[in-house]
Amino acid sequence: MRKANLFSARNGFLLSLLAAPLLLQLVSCGKRADPAPKPPPPPPFQFLSAWGDKGDGPGKFGAPSAFATDSLGSVFFADPGAGFIDKFEAKGTPLLSFEDSRVRHATGIAVDSGGAIYLAEADRGSIFIFFPDGTFLRAMQSAPQRHFSGPLGITVDNQGNLFVPDPAGSRVAKFNDRGRLVKYLPAPADAAPDEKPSWVAASLDGSVFVAYFATGRIAKYSADGLFMTFWIAADNPAAQSHPIAGLAVGDGYVFTMSSVPPQIRVWTLDGQHKLDADLSEHLGEIAAPQIAVTPHSELLVFDPAAARIFWFRMNLNSKEQP
């Protein structure tokens, strides 16, 4: 009887040893693991870096007045202070610098799909065109900009048409790829007397967008130059004399920039407001910012007074963005 009890006890001990891992496995299977926390969504404008140095000579800035990007994402500057036109990569690597005595006070710059560079001089009403390597091509006349100073936001569309704001005439001139005046874009029917066009940008589908300083209005035109619609891009246009400091189109959106505070406002191409982003953390105080968008979903903010570029990656089309 004693042997039987010892045998059964030994068997029970062995069974318990064998069953222990199974019980642990069952307990672990019945226990739910907590899901890993999701990383926060990327900001709509992710700061990458800032660059730009004042100085003399190629690759340095004297008093840059305007900038633009091309179809490859390179950045071009009109710098009458240093006497150069400069080309950089978006991250700040110098690519090209050239000067031309014909250009005395460039106030606007644009680059077409073939890489040709257009420089505007507002006070003389002149446009100077250069080959991509900086070789002079030709000059053309636009409307004289009487009593106008500051940057002139010219643009070239995919067909080679050049659009030049004419603040003195409260209109935008359209020139074809041969430099011939085609038409003036009509001002909105209810345009105020002080509503002067300051910036113009074109989208890939040929639509043209015109920004007006005094009223904070964005007007949209068809590829044929017909007025389509407008919207107000400033919350309180009466609060400041120049609510729109910059305009850009890219990635299927329209971007406007205000300076106090430095804020980007994003719109769909038909004028639906998407979001606002305050960039004060990176820009600080910036008096007259200009903006451009590259084909690589990058936003560039230009501070002419400091001769600095602020480089952001855009995450507007991320599924995690509202």
Residue 89: CB atoms within 10 A of its CB come to: 13
CA-based angle 172:201:294, to the nearest 5? 160
Question: 207 lies in a domain?
Answer: yes
Question: 41 lies in a domain?
Answer: no
Domain extent, residue 121, equals 49-314
Residue 1: CB atoms within 10 A of its CB come to: 5
- Output the pLDDT for position 150: 61
Question: 25 lies in a domain?
Answer: no
Cα–Cα distance, 224 to 226 (Å, whole number): 6
In this structure, are residues 275 and 44 in contact, taking their beta carbons and an 8 Å threshold?
A: yes
Question: 234 lies in a domain?
Answer: yes
Question: 3 lies in a domain?
Answer: no
Q: Residue-wise over 23-40: b if at least 16 C-beta within 10 A, else e? A: eeeeeeeeeeeeeeeeee
In this structure, are residues 140 and 119 in contact, taking their beta carbons and an 8 Å threshold?
A: no
Question: 175 lies in a domain?
Answer: yes
Residues of the chain with pLDDT under 70: 1-34, 143-151, 234-243, 318-322
- Output the pLDDT for position 235: 58
- Output the pLDDT for position 27: 45
Question: 307 lies in a domain?
Answer: yes
Number of structural domains, the chain? 1
Question: 7 lies in a domain?
Answer: no
Indicate which CATH number applies to the domain containing 76. Answer: 2.120.10.30
Contacts of 206 (CB under 8 A, 6+ apart): 157, 158, 159, 222, 223
Q: How far, in whole angstroms, is CA 174 from its chain's centroid?
A: 23
